[in-house]
Every structure is written in C-alpha cells, then in structure tokens.
Amino acid sequence: MITKPRAAEPASWLLLLHQLPAKPAYARVKLWRRLQALGAVAVKNAVYALPASPEAQEDFEWAMKEIAAADGEGMIVEARLIDGLSDDAVRGLFKSAREADYRALAKEIRAVEKDAAPAQVARLRAEAARIAAIDFFGANGREDVEARLAALTPDAAPVPASAPLVSGSGHVWVTRRDVHVDRIGSAWLIRHFIDPDATFKFVPAKGYKPRRGELRFDMFEAEFTHEGDRCTFEVLLQRSGLDQPALTAISEIVHDIDLKDGKFARAEAGGIAALIDSLAQADISDQERVDQGAQLFDNLYALFKKPRR
C-alpha cells in the first residue's frame, strides 16, 4: 500500500502586537531597538514575530513591560499562520535581516583586518556571537564572517565582603520555570554570596501567589528582577553591595546574553550562551539546570579572580 507523506506541521510563531502613544518619541525608538536586538521581524504594522519558544516568550514579556511603562498597550499571541504570509516567507524575513547584519559586520572586519587592535577583535567577535544567537534559520554570510574573524590576531583574555541583602539565611527563592542564563546565574549568585542555605522553587510565569516569607526573582512583581536596562543578576549584585571585579565581569556576560543588546560587548558571551543553551535543551529539571549551571559560573568566577598578567 502506498501512503501519502504526512504534510509538515505549520511553524509556530509568537507575535507581539503593540500600540504606543505618539509621545515621547524616544519610547518608540527604545522599543524598536530592543526588538531588533531580539532578532524579531516586523510582519505587519506594529506586529513583530519570533519563532515560538520559552525564551522568545520571555523576551517578549520583557518588551511588554517596557510597553506598559510607556503607557502603551500590547499582547503576545501564538499563531500557526500569519495572515498574508507563508511560513517560508516569514523565514525569509528573518534570513534577510541576518544576512544584512552579517554583511555589515564583514564590512567592519575588512576595514580593520590588517591592523586590528585586541579590543577591536573582541568587539567584533562579540557582535558576531550576538548575530549568531538570533540567526534562527541559518542565514548566508555567517561562514564568511567566521573565516574573517579567525584570520584576525587573537585578542587577549580580558575580593569578598558584602552588605547583607536579606536578613537571615535559608530563604525560599521563587522564580519562573524553564530557567535560562539570568535565572541560573542569579541562583548561583544567591547561593554563593547572598543566602548560602537558599532553596529554590520553580513556578509558572503567571498566576503564582507567593507564600509568606518567599522571595521572588526574575519574574513580574518580584522583589528582585529587571530594573531599567539591568538584568536580575546585575540588580542582585548592586543591591547586595558586592564589589568584586570577577562578579562584575560575570554580570556583564549575563547581561549581554540575556538582554541581547551588546552593551558590554563581552567576547565570552557567545561561548557561554551556547553552554547555557545546551542546558536549556537537555531533558533535565530546572533544579538540575541550576546545579549544573553553577559549575559553569564557578569556573568563570575562578577565571576572573586570577591575577591578570
């Protein structure tokens, strides 16, 4: 008997629909920059898309927070079909955007490839890692950029009293399920420097009502979460008064991976992001992600504490 091949399932997309007031104009520019940094593409007027994933949901939720802060309105919806566009057409929008990014970066590399300074190489590599992280469909141009970067001169590789952040020890720290870099790093920071006997609870992103005495982090209405353009790790670090160069370096890496804005252009961000992604894709619990991620952050901390030569 001849059976027909089963038709491929339609792709699943997350759509961010939003409306912002006309003024102040900078709010629109700020949101546009954030969406560009996330790798989102405009599929309609004021409608941006990302391939559906827990990380994309989280990214759009933070964008929604910015929209609300600007007195705007918005919603996030998951769609199998986008009106007027095929899945291939939407993928084409993503590929075109990343190909333009790769072309621009290749042009920058060509301009300095004969006499690139270590700081320039580090910045270019960080930008390549940032683009690759939002290259969801394998756009052309990545191989050219990687080859040009490999030909450049390698760059060089770039203690503990703290004010108590919370009274006592052994608190229950609550955060959202499907932990990624900011929550994994924050859990490591909490247990190693803030609350050595901390335990962690992982709950749905919406609808959870905290119990008495619980401390929430990296979730909406949490005691410790994003503030302005700072990720939760940075907020915990600043509020705890921990003033260690090693922790500052780690906070910059977490920021660049989590917010995808390239603010610190940390050359290490691309490699660390890949390791965190491997944890996120493994068939393990959130607690196991936190425990295995702790080893990664232990190694980073040891690296950055070593005296520079």
Question: What pLDDT is recorded for position 119?
Answer: 72
**Token match 């590789």: residue?**
157
What number of CA atoms fall less than 13 Å from residue 182's CA on the CB side?
A: 26
Q: Six-digit token pair at 239?
A: 């509020």
Rounded mean pLDDT of 206-223? 86
Is residue 47 classed as helix, strand or coil in its secondary structure?
strand
What confidence tier does 208 reach under pLDDT thresholds 50, 70, 90?
A: confident
Q: Which CATH architecture has domain 13-79?
A: 2-Layer Sandwich (3.30)
Closest by CA to 187, choosing from 219, 160, 211, 209, is 219
Question: Using omega within 30 degrees of 0 as the cis cutoff, is the peptide bond preceding 307 cis?
Answer: no
Higher pLDDT, 46 or 158: 46
Question: What pLDDT is recorded for position 156?
Answer: 39
* Residue 10 DSSP one-character state: P
Contacts for 100 with CB less than 8 Å, ≥ 6 apart: none
Percent of residues, the chain, with pLDDT higher than 70: 91
Closest by CA to 172, choosing from 203, 141, 128, is 203
Q: What is the pLDDT of residues 17-75, one digit of tens each?
A: 999 998 888 888 889 988 988 999 999 999 999 999 888 898 899 899 889 989 999 99
Q: Where in the chain is the domain with CATH 3.30.70.240?
A: 13-79
What confidence tier does 10 reach under pLDDT thresholds 50, 70, 90?
A: low
Contact 109, 146 (CB under 8 A): no
Question: What pLDDT is recorded for position 55?
Answer: 83
- Angle, CA of 169, 172 and 173, to the nearest 5°: 105
Q: Among the listed ranges 53-57, 138-142, 176-180, 193-197, which one has the minimum average pLDDT value?
A: 53-57
pTM given for the model: 0.59
Question: What pLDDT is recorded for position 114?
Answer: 81
pLDDT at 101 over 50: yes
> Cα separation of 235 and 225, whole Å?
7
> Cα separation of 101 and 135, whole Å?
10
